[in-house]
Structures are given as C-alpha cells and as structure tokens.
Amino acid sequence: MKRFYLKTMGCQMNDHDSEVITGILLSLGYQSTDSVDEADLILYNTCCVRENPERKVYGHIAAFKRLKEKNPELIIGICGCMPQQKQERQQMLQRLPHVDLIFGTHNIHRLPELLERAASGERIVEVWEEGQYDEGQDYRDDLPVQRSDGLKAFVNIIYGCTNFCTYCIVPYTRGKEHSRTPAKIREDVVGLVADGYKEVTLLGQNVNAYGKDLTEDASFSALLEDLNSINGLERIRFTTSHPRDMGPDLIKALATLDKVCEHLHLPVQAGSSSLLKRMNRGYTREYYLDLVKQVRKAIPGISLTTDLIVGFPGETEQDFQETLSLVQEVGFDSAFTFIYSPREGTPAARMPDQIPEELKKERIYKLIELQNTISENHMRRLLGTNQELLVEGRSKDGLIGRTRTNRQVHFEGPDDLLGSLVSVEITEASTWSLRGRIL
C-alpha cells in the first residue's frame, strides 16, 4: 500500500484541484497520510500570488532531502501555480535537486502517467502551453474527485483569467478564460444533489465573465437561474465577482433566486481611482460605491466582503486615506487584507516608487484595525435576529451551522440535524463567533 502526503496552498481553485488530485491518487490505490515520514509520495499544490507562501515551499521541500536519503523510492512533487512560471520552474530544478516531479495546473489529468515515469527514475517537468484545448472541451470532466465535504461542493464554471490586473500573476499561471458549458455544469450539480450535497460554490477567478468565451448564448446570471431550479439543492454560492462585470442581471439574480445566498465577495483592492486605474481594475471609486448602493438596495441585509491591497507602487498617503474612507463608507462585513507583493513578470513589479516594507506594514495595521471594528459591529447587529442555518458539523461547542450570509453559528442540538436546514435566534455575538438557540 502506497501513501501520499498532499499539501494545498492558495485559493479555492487549488482546494478543488487537490480534491481531484486526491481522487486520482485514491483510484491508483494510494492512501492518504498526514505524516511526511510515512509517505511514498509528497506533493505540494502551490500558490504564487504572493511571495511568502512561495518561500515556504522552498523551505519545506528543501527539508525533505533527508527523507529522500532515507528512502530513495520516495517521489517528491510540486504542482499548482508555481510551476506555471518558467523562471520558477528553473529555480526549482536548480535549488531542489531532489524533486522528481513538477507539473502545472492543466496537467492534473496526466498524473497517473507522470507518476509511473517518475517511479522509473525520470525527472519530470510537464506544464501546459496556451491554446491546448478547444471550446467546450474540458480534460477534467471524467476525473475522479474525492471531496473533502459531504454537504458542500466546489464546482468549476470558468478557468483562467484575462483581466491582467497589473499586480497579479494569476493570468500568467492559469491562462485565458475558458468557460465550461452550462449543460456540463448542470450535470455536475444534479449529480452532486443525487449524492446528498446541499450546497454548491461556483468557482472562477471572475465568475461574472462566465459564458463570454462560449459561442452558445450563456451568461452567469442565466446559469444561476438554471441551477436555481434544481430540486433538492438548497444553497448556491459563488466566488469571485469582478466589480467591472457585475451587471443589473446579476443583481437581479441575487435578489430573486431563492437558492442564491445573500453574500457577495466583491474585491475592491483600493479606494483611490488613480490607484485603481494603475491596477487596471477597470472601474473607479465612484463606480464601486454606486454598485454597492444598488446591491444593498436590491438585497437588503446582504453580506459584502472584499479583498484589499496596501502598498501598491506609488500609493500616496492620500491614496491610502481613500482606501480607509471607502472601507468606512461601505462597511464590509469582512475583508482579506494583503500587503502588495511584487510578482516578477507583472507590470506593477516594474513600476517606480515601490513602497518600503515598513510603511506597507504601518498601513496594513491601520487598515486591519479599522476593518476589525466594522466587522465587530456587523456581528453585534446580528444579536436577536433569526437566521437559517445549514448544519455542517459538530465541535466541542455544540453543532455548527452556517448562515446564508456565510457566518458560522454554534448551537445546541441533536446530531440528527446534521445536513439539514434549521432556524435559530442569535443569542450571543462576539467579534469572532456567534451562538444561537434553535427555534
């Protein structure tokens, strides 16, 4: 019996890719292990959107050299977004001579063959080249998937990104936008529901661009409407929406389709129009604020979350203040905040006036402090409200459910509620957690 250790970094695309990788490995007779010491295969599914996690990969893999010395049969592999960059690939080959297997985000389906070759002593580097597939073709359609959850499932709807925000590496690693057909997505979701799944999260770097690359008439809002009609499915979520491509049809879909949850992750990145322009985001501060107004008007109580970057090249104190004031004005339920990390090959990395690390840190602390206060107020406001929960699990604090707005709530109840929808009243609300009483 062979064992594999799989480490996953990065976004939900990678989380889901790892579910496919796990599915393939199990079908090959491998068993999963949490311990690198007993693994016959160590595989890192990597992210390169920022520098820190990248450094970790080098650190970890370097340390596995001793394992390889003990067990020469051990296969060490790196996949995901890092290998998609040529320079990174070359560095890996040089700096990590004990790595056997390097493959990209579009080569997962070839894993069985790659492993076989690696086992026979070949050192393997396989990455996808642009333009390899045709419309409607999805080399992953028939791959086994080992899902990490029995209630909630990820479903890819569009791969890649062609937005080329000037700071971002993703368009270079994941390639151009490539939508799956509505029929295939529906088939997936129907299958999931038959297997007992209650919730799907539709995945794409920019789900709002869904369908634009297909010749058949398809749009994201039409897809939502179609999926909303599937019996037995309770909840539909999606991520990520690009503000520029968020039209009235999508706002209407959010407002009217009963299964589509009241949560919108709408990354704004910055509050100053001049920074947004240099980020190539394709919208202004005013546009974003107006969009938020329309969304809130159509869907009262919707949870709005975002991504923010501080320390983009040339960010002035005034620009930063505009980010703070936008955050204040919108009042996001929560935000992922990032320090700008220069990525080789992207336009922003070559821009003048890179911000010193100290100043970036100072700014992110201020931003986090402000957002924490706002998040706390949102939590407090839930006190005394009634919420629909999907009961997802149990912890030492009782059952755990999730609201339609994507918040966790702990409450007391019997295990047979697992997997069902219940109503609770929120009885306690602190900065990071909610407690409820079943109604």
Residues of span 279-338 touching ligand F3S by CB under 6 A = none
The DSSP-derived string for 302-329 is -EEEEEEEE--TT--HHHHHHHHHHHHH
Residues 6+ apart with CB under 8 A from 58: 95, 96
337 touches, from ligand F3S, ligand SF4, ligand SAH, none (C-beta below 5 to 8 Å by class): none
Cα–Cα distance list, 70 to 6, 65, 117, 147, 204 (Å): 20, 9, 21, 33, 41
Choosing from 4, 6, 14, 108, the residue that interacts with ligand F3S (CB under 6 A) is 14
What residue is closest to ligand F3S based on CB?
Answer: 10
Residue 324 structure tokens:
């703070």
Positions touching ligand SAH (CB under 6 A) are: 49-50, 167-168, 170, 205-206, 240, 242, 267, 269, 307, 309, 338, 340-341, 343
What is d(CA 310, CA 308) in angstroms, rounded to the nearest whole number? 7
106 vs 174, beta carbon nearer ligand F3S: 174
Which of the listed partners (ligand F3S, ligand SAH, ligand SF4, none) does 13 bind, with a CB threshold of 5 to 8 Å by partner kind?
ligand F3S
Q: Which of 4, 6, 10, 279 binds ligand F3S (CB under 6 A)?
A: 10
Piece of the chain touching ligand SF4 by CB under 6 A; list 164-172, 286-294, 391-399, 423-431? 164-172
ω into residue 8 within 30 of 0, thus cis?
A: no
Burial 352-384 (b: 16+ CB within 10 A, else e): eebbeeeebeebbeebeebbeebbeebbeebee
Indicate whether 168 belongs to the interface with ligand SF4 (CB under 6 A).
yes
Q: How far is the CB of 61 from ligand SAH (least distance, A)?
A: 22
- Residues in contact with 132: Cβ distance below 8 Å, sequence separation at least 6, in sequence order: 106
Is there binding between residue 200 and ligand F3S (CB under 6 A)? no
Among 6, 39, 47, 367, the residue binding ligand F3S under the rule CB under 6 A is 47
Figure out which of the listed residues 174, 180, 242, 259 binds ligand F3S, where binding follows CB under 6 A. Answer: 174
Kindly state the smallest distance separating residue 214's Cβ from ligand SF4, in Å: 19
Residues 95 and 120: their CA atoms lie apart, in Å, by: 22
**Residue 394, SS3?**
strand
CA distance 286 to 273: 8
Cβ-based nearer residue to ligand SAH, 123 or 336: 336
Q: How far is CA 180 from the centre of its chain?
A: 18
Neighbours of 185 (CB within 10 A): 22
Stretch 203-242: interaction string toward ligand SF4, x if CB under 6 A? --xx-----------------------------------x
Binding to ligand F3S (CB under 6 A): which residues in 76-105?
Answer: 80-81
Write out the residues near ligand F3S by the rule CB under 6 A.
10-11, 13-14, 47-49, 80-81, 169-170, 173-174
Write out the residues near ligand SF4 by the rule CB under 6 A.
161, 163-165, 168, 170-171, 205-206, 242
